[in-house]
Amino acid sequence: MKFAVLVFPGSNCDLDMYHAIKDELGEEAEYVWHDETDLSAYDGILVPGGFSYGDYLRCGAMANQSNVMKEVKKAAEAGKPVLGVCNGFQILTEAGLLPGALLRNRDLKFICKTVELKVENNHTLFTNGYNSDEVISIPIAHGEGNYYCDDATLKQLQDNNQIVFTYNGENPNGSLENIAGIVNERGNVLGMMPHPERAVDELIGGADGLNLFKSIVKQWRESNVN
């Protein structure tokens, strides 16, 4: 499986994404600059964290205007897996690929630590390698990870089982209903604030994030069996 790792001015988690795919999974990965106009050669799209364009205007707002985001939308419409982590989640909401918005953390401070997540939906292409209600440990590092949406959108997310991850126990940022990650209605676009790519090897503190990437590859292979 071949992944595109998008790179915007200010991205700082693209190397982590590349390592997770290339070194831990043994799959193909390539860095793709923000002005690229064709993603047809890739089977999956990864939108990493960081501070794209310095988080000016709103986090992810300027990145959404990049040429490559038109191609990300095409990939999503074609059913390809699209994963946005941290700033990548913010970019996906700005692009309209996911509902809601990411606000300033409740305490208005940047948070960097490992938190517990609960797997609310293990029937997505991103979570089929986890057990239902499994609790996993994944790092967070953000200042604007407070997920918010209106009541109608929240009901839709709940009714369609689109809430994939929630913070277990402590809610670090004030996120609505403890939401840490959601998918689109089709289930092929995931946005999450915690960093699974930073939890892919026990040598760096844990490997609970690795199953997310394994899940994507497993689903892709099953879908492409001749």
User: What's the rounded Cα separation, in Å, for the pair 168 and 166?
Assistant: 6
Query: Closest by alpha carbon to 61, among 39, 31, 83, 93?
Result: 93
Q: How far is CA 194 from CA 57, 165, 173, 191, 224, in A?
A: 23, 10, 11, 9, 29
Structure tokens at 140: 């967070």
Which element (helix H / strand E) includes 180? strand 179-183
**Catalytic residue list contains 86:** yes
Strand partners, 7: 33
Say if residues 126 and 183 touch (Cβ distance below 8 Å): yes
Judge whether 71 counts as a catalytic residue.
no
- Whether 16 contacts 208, CB under 8 Å: no
123 is catalytic: no
CA dihedral 188, 191, 194, 200 (to 10 degrees): 30
Nearest in space to 178 (alpha carbons), one of 166, 190, 164: 166
Out of 19, 34, 142, 195, pick the active-site residue.
195
Active-site residue, selected from the candidate residues 13, 86, 120, 149: 86
The set of catalytic residues is 86, 195, 197
